[in-house]
Amino acid sequence: MKTLWMVPVLLGCLSALGVTETTFPEPDQLPALKELPDPFLMRDGHRVATREEWAQRRGEITEMLLHYEYGHPPPAPTSVAVEEETVRDAFDGKAQVHEFVLRMNGKDGFSMHAGVIIPTAGGPKFPVVVAVNPVYGKHGESTALQLIERGYACAGFAYHDVDNDKDDRSVGIYPFYPDCDGGSLVMWAWGAMRVADYLVTRSDIDAAHMAVTGHSRCGKAALLAGALDERFTLVVPHASGAGGSGSFRIQPKGVETLDSITLPMRFHYWFSPHLREFSHKEDRLPFDQHFLKALVAPRGLLNVIGLGDVWANPEGTQQTHLASLPVFEFLGAKDKAALWFRDGGHDEEPRDWTALLDYADFVFFGKPRGEQFNPLPFPDAPKAFSWSAPSR
């Protein structure tokens, strides 16, 4: 067993993220807002005017999203150890696969399976893509090889070790943090952050160039992880829909709604119980998903989705993207947020990973971004907000 680090104090769920408890209004006490809310409007009623005020507003948004939508994650662990590590060659010697168990807070603490695949040529440090998925992901070795051949390491974890996606708080992470109110999405995001904890200790990982991604429900968790943890310098939610890159207010026919995703017989347990309170009251949400995207700024953000994936709300994804751009612009990073739409449905394809790597090369290394990013597939969609970025 190899202990990676230890810290002396176990922080509470809120203080670990730099937020404090606040009293939040009930839905019926909130004003109805037909347009996408203004992320620059602070809790006391005045608008952000400086970067310093945005930092304060960023904390307010984080606190609000965790309260109303996701619940709170556990704190970072006080110690992490690597157990049961195996190392083997892969892809005819092009890479080494490291698989192991991460044990947190001592021998009786929570553990999860994780892994990283490192190229054997190039380096000495490699940019890395962390997936909310086991290290080989749903498409197996082909995806890992695609990353390795582009000079990227890839990492992942068994997110079902953290939360088994069965509305069962007696297993996984929950018995270790019984006072945390987080749903599945924020717990999976917490798992991705623990993989980041491990990766920054490796001498062969370029920790300044670390992306996080995931598909569908894991895409929701990846976007949340990237919003909460600034070590992820590129965030790529894929087909993430409701609770991810989609919109709760902008609901074309056939999309997954707030009501449908939070039904007791469906996925209410992914979220804070408070989110269900906004069913059929979406206009009273004091945020929409562009607030979550705004937390990523000024780091890189790429939204990936198939135009045939109607359930995941492609039009709402475009609208929340456009509503997040003023924040990126305000922070001097307008070119760091992008869309990549393709034909097809709710699948994860090799061309999606090519788009991710092309955009990572742009964000990380300044390589040409190309024209395939940012064409708007819904050019006639009405603008969903009337506010703009504060003048600087």
pLDDT in tens, 104-139: 999 999 999 999 999 999 989 999 999 999 986 545
Which range, 7-16, 176-185, 366-375, is most confident?
176-185
Distance CA 86, CA 114 (A): 11
Residue with tokens 């490291």: 98
Strands 337-342 vs 300-306: parallel, antiparallel or unpaired: parallel
The CATH class of the 43-365 domain is alpha beta
Distance CA 62, CA 16 (A): 12
Q: Which residues are CB-contacts of 23 (< 8 A; sequence separation ≥ 6)?
A: none
Contact 219, 209 (CB under 8 A): no
* pTM, two decimal places: 0.94
What average pLDDT does the structure give for the chain?
Answer: 93
Contact 110, 203 (CB under 8 A): no
Is 247 buried (19+), middle (13-18) or exposed (0-12) by CB count in 10 A?
buried
Looking at residue 3, its pLDDT comes to 60
What H or E segment, with its residue span, contains residue 326? helix 314-330
DSSP 25: -
Q: Among 20-34, 77-91, 304-318, which is the least confidently predicted range?
A: 20-34
Strands 205-215 vs 126-131: parallel, antiparallel or unpaired: parallel
